[in-house]
Amino acid sequence: MKIVVALGGNALTSGRGKNTYVSTINSLKRISIILADLVKKKHNLVITHGSGPQAGALLLQNELSKKKVSKLPLDVLDAEVQGQLGYLIEQTLLNTLNEHRLRKSVVTLLTQVVVDRKDPSFRRPSKPIGQFYTKTQLNKIKKKGATYKEDSGRGYRRFVASPYPLEIVESKTIKNLVKKGIIVIATGGGGIPVCKKDGQLFGIEAVIDKDLASSVLANQVKADVLLIVTSIDRAYLNFRKKNQKGLNKVKLKDAIVYLKQGHFAEGSMAPKIMSAIEFLKKGGKKVIITDPGNISKSIAGMAGTTIIK
């Protein structure tokens, strides 16, 4: 079975949401054991990953050092995140596979994702990146011209443009690598946003939602399953309210209704449900949403949220 595994940026941090090198490595070691188990069960994997906390950290470093080092555009920072996290995921997974005597090649591919330069998101920033701030902290760090909003009741975060992904430039290469049995890490952080003009590609400043980009990739490589790994065990209706209800098995038509009813937070669970809907509408068979600790059970249908046609 061909599975696109979309690792959430927040799922790659510690349980307390700390974004440090050590916490990222520790999280990857835990996830790599689970991924190795999927490899052992003969599944072909394409791994994507989020970068919200990491991209936000790079953006902050970029701004703090601008008096000494020239600022880089956001699309270049997206490429940096792909290399940074791709390297860590690749090395950690390779080590785990070797420990389990699973002889598999793993490769990280810098991936460009085509977007529309007229996408409305460039006028209305909708993608949260970076760490969470309290209102007091926000007043101290807020930058002129930047957009900050509350995110899912967990605090304030910076929001940037998040255009809709249209196609993965390197999809044929990824497909060919998977056919050869190679595990591919691609579309990291949602990919590097690029536009087309007169047959040429050029970068544009934005951060593409990882789950939406993963859905496009999953369709282009004809994956059987889109596995979305996040920081909570499943999708919920009325999340964090007294009448909260976990979703186990959901039909596509019901997922569409729940999304329209506003049950899922923008910049959080909503893009995951949107990704599931798009993947299934365009030929995908199954979408699973869960946290790292429930991946194996979710694949077996005993945990997480499973969405089917």
The candidate with the shortest Cα–Cα distance to 168, out of 128, 110, 226, is: 110
Local structure of residue 142 (DSSP, 8 states): P
| Burial class of residue 67 (count of CB atoms within 10 Å of its CB; 0-12, 13-18, 19+) | exposed
Parallel, antiparallel or unpaired: strands 156-160 and 147-150: antiparallel
| CA nearest to 304, candidates 34, 47, 32 | 34
Q: How far is Cα 284 from Cα 306, in angstroms, rounded to an integer? A: 13
Does residue 210 have an active-site annotation?
Answer: yes
Catalytic residue status for 9? yes
Which uninterrupted H or E stretch holds 182? none
Query: Is 83 annotated as catalytic?
Result: no
Q: Which of 56, 62, 190, 272 is catalytic?
A: 272
Q: What are phi and psi of 186, to 5 degrees?
A: -145, 170
Q: Which of 8, 9, 188, 304 is catalytic?
A: 9
Q: Which of 44, 52, 86, 127 is catalytic?
A: 127
Return d(Cα 237, Cα 243) in angstroms, integer.
Answer: 8
Known catalytic membership, residue 294: no
Contact 86, 79 (CB under 8 A): no
Q: Which residues contact 271 (CB under 8 A, 6 or more apart)?
A: 209, 211, 212
Catalytic residue among 8, 62, 188, 210: 210
Annotated active-site residue 155? The verdict is no
Q: Which two tokens stand for residue 55?
A: 């991209």
Q: Which residues are catalytic?
A: 9-10, 127, 210, 272
